[in-house]
Structure 1
Amino acid sequence: MTEENVGAPSGTIKVAVLGARGRMGRTVCAAVEAAADLELVASLDAGDDLAEVARAGADVAVDFTVPSVTEGNVRAMVEAGVHTVVGTTGWTEQRLEDLRNHIASTAGGRGPVGVLIAPNFGLSAVLAMTFAAKAARYFESAEVVELHHPGKVDAPSGTARHTAAAIARSRRDAGLDASPDATETGFEARGADVDGVRVHAVRLRGLVAHEEILFGNEGSSS
């Protein structure tokens, strides 16, 4: 559905929100409407026609949907020439590479279309990921635990995957071996393997979003 905003000042950025009826989508819509230099021109949810974004003249689309549809949404925005900011998780490296190729093949004469996929918009999460990557080279062992509400549809979370991948890169750059692990049976209890870093997902009523980054050396842990 299209949001009418008659008399909006010129020079504003026209924004469409995908997943507008979800918790994060509603928050984004409210933030856009409260900003003097932004104009909410379309708010779409499941079943709505994505072509409405282009018809509304959106400059940027913000996707807060679910992993099963976000890739298709972003591809549609790229084809429409609409820049996109993505807060939906579930993106694998293969899906990212497929999207890069899609952007390159559809740019044509319109110029590049920008797509920003952020695993987390929270300052504390960004700082935690940055600090974890810096600390990873100094510890023999590293694991990640993420805890969320039971309504979350993907596991591990995108933030946890991104954190683990950054830890793994830092460890490789430092020439570290794999974390010691003598497990021979019951590997399913060791969590997901993200580039050699184990990530554990907890889904519990009453939680919202939490992440723990664990490092350890002989005789000490943090």
Structure 2
Amino acid sequence: MKRVLVNGAMGKMGQEVVKTVVEETEDLLVGACDMKGIGENIMDLLGLKGDRVTIYGDLTEAIQKTNPDVIIDFTIPEVVMNNIKTGLSHKVHMIVGTTGITEVDLKEIKDLAEANNVNALIVPNFAIGAVLMMEFSREAARYFKDVEIIELHHNQKIDAPSGTSIKTAELINRNMNNCENNGINEIERIKGARGGNKNGVNIHSVRLPGLVAHQEVIFGGEGQTLTIRHDSYSRKSFMPGVKLALKKITDINGLVYGLEKIL
């Protein structure tokens, strides 16, 4: 049984994680951290049965008071690296679903995890279907030389493009050695109309109320297209991946990037 602290516990994803840890795992929720509800009992706030779990406003204090084995972080890109550094430097394993982590950040996380002899699992998307969508896209890239990604999320998501789309572009690029400009001198009448470019793959971001998390990868070839799409209609879709990550976090070694590495 692992002692779990959820950081960002009062956010929409954080609340789902809290409920999942309490109701669907054998692990023990020992603490919650958020800027909302400081000092309150998150078990009462979410209508859960069990001993009191206090919400702390400071991650360092939360770690010192609750002595967790694992921190699950669903916060925001602006603070995620500070959270990771705090957790790893206190020798606590980190499971991170917050996006915005760069390749430079990953190198720093790897070094810090190794220095403190703990593990960090960084997951752009916890939905099993999304992981399969990325893997199928990677395989399809062997056979198509043209591809674009459209990612669609709720209008409260502050970063663009999504971590999932960036990860997908990276996976595609590993197999698409000829991913390059088609030679046409395009004219963007509105800057950004063709999306952003990651590893030679154009990514288009949509933010609208009513959406949760969706992505389609469109491959184009002569006389045909192939579309690989995944849709999360509820945040419950991410919880099987969270449970798997929690189960595997002590079995990995140092930094692991992507849920597919532990499937």
**What's the TM-score once normalised by structure 2's chain length?**
0.74
Which residue of the partner structure matches residue 225 of structure 2?
Answer: 221
Residues 140 and 179 of structure 1 are in contact (CA less than 8 Å); yes or no, is this contact kept in structure 2?
A: no
Aligned-residue offset at 1:98: 2.2
Which segments of 5 or more consecutive residues in structure 2 lack a partner in the other structure? 36-55, 227-263
Letter in 2 for 1:19: G
- For 1:120, the equivalent position in structure 2 comes to 125
Superimposed CA distance per residue, residues 61-93 of structure 1 (whole angstroms, 9 cap, x where no aligned partner): 000000000110000001000001000111111
C-alpha distance 55-199 of structure 1, shift in aligned 2 (>3 A): same
Aligned to 1:3: none
Percentage of pairs with the same residue: 41
Distance verdict in 2 for CA 1:79–1:169, change over 3 Å: same
Equivalent positions of 1:7-46 (< 5 A) are: 12-46=1-35
Structure 1 residues 140-162: Cα deviation after superposition (integer angstroms, max 9, x where no partner): 20110001111001101111111
Q: Contact between 2:141 and 2:176, CA under 8 Å: does it hold in 1?
A: yes
Corresponding residue number in structure 1 for 2:208 = 204
Deviates more, 1:41-50 or 1:57-66: 41-50
1:141·1:179 contact (CA, 8 Å) conserved in 2? Answer: no
Give the deviation of 1:17 after TM superposition: 0.2
Q: 1:189 offset after TM fit, Å? A: 1.4
Deviation string, structure 1 residues 91-141 (Cα, Å, up to 9, x no partner): 11111112223334x42xxxx210000011101101100100001110120
C-alpha RMSD of matched pairs (Å): 1.5
Counterpart amino acid of residue 41 in structure 1: V
CA–CA separation in structure 2 for the residues paired with 1:34 and 1:181: 55
Count matched residues. Answer: 203
Structure 1 alignment gaps of length 5 or more: 1-11
> What is the aligned partner in structure 2 of residue 48 from structure 1?
57
**Structure 1 residue 205: Cα displacement:** 1.8
Task: State the Cα distance separating 1:177 from its structure 2 match.
Answer: 4.4
Q: Provide, for residues 170-211 of structure 1, a one-character-per-residue CA deviation record: whole Å limited to 9, x for no partner.
A: 113xxx241525243326211111111111001112211110
Contact in 1 for aligned 2:153/2:207 (Cα 8 Å): yes
- Give 3-state SS (helix, strand or coil) of 2:210's partner: coil
Q: Which among 73, 87, 91 is matched to residue 63 of structure 1?
A: 73
Separation (CA, whole Å) in 2 of partners of 1:36 and 1:201: 34
Offset at 1:35?
Answer: 3.5
Q: Report the TM-score when normalising by structure 1.
A: 0.87
Contact 1:149 1:205 in 2 (8 A): yes
Residue of structure 1 equivalent to 2:235: none
Write the mapping of 1:173-212 to structure 2, written as runs, cut at 5 A. Answer: 176-180=178-182, 182-186=184-188, 188-212=192-216
3-state SS of 1:188 partner = coil
SS state at 2:176 partner: helix
